[in-house]
Amino acid sequence: MEVKVCVLNVVLVDKIMKAEDIINWGELSRMLSGSRQTVRKNKIPKIHQEFIYKLLAAMEKVINKRNNKL
């Protein structure tokens, strides 16, 4: 069991995480617009752009801090 956990940790350290990959876009879209189809990773309506860009920037800060500690 310990070996599997260690191997998993190594794989996670080697993978470069991006904020866009962590977000559940369907749920974010539902929260912002009421529809799962409105906001997509590659299609962000202007009305939601500012909020999403701030969210992505904050997530990138956390990811970078985590990666720098490892």
pLDDT of 7 reads 42
Which neighbouring-strand residues pair with 43?
A: 40
Contact 19, 56 (CB under 8 A): yes
- Model confidence, pTM: 0.71
Q: Domain spans of the chain?
A: 17-69
Choose between 5 and 26: higher pLDDT: 26
pLDDT of 10 reads 41
pLDDT tens figures, 14-52: 567 789 999 999 999 999 999 999 999 999 999 999 999
Residue 64 has pLDDT above 80, yes or no: yes
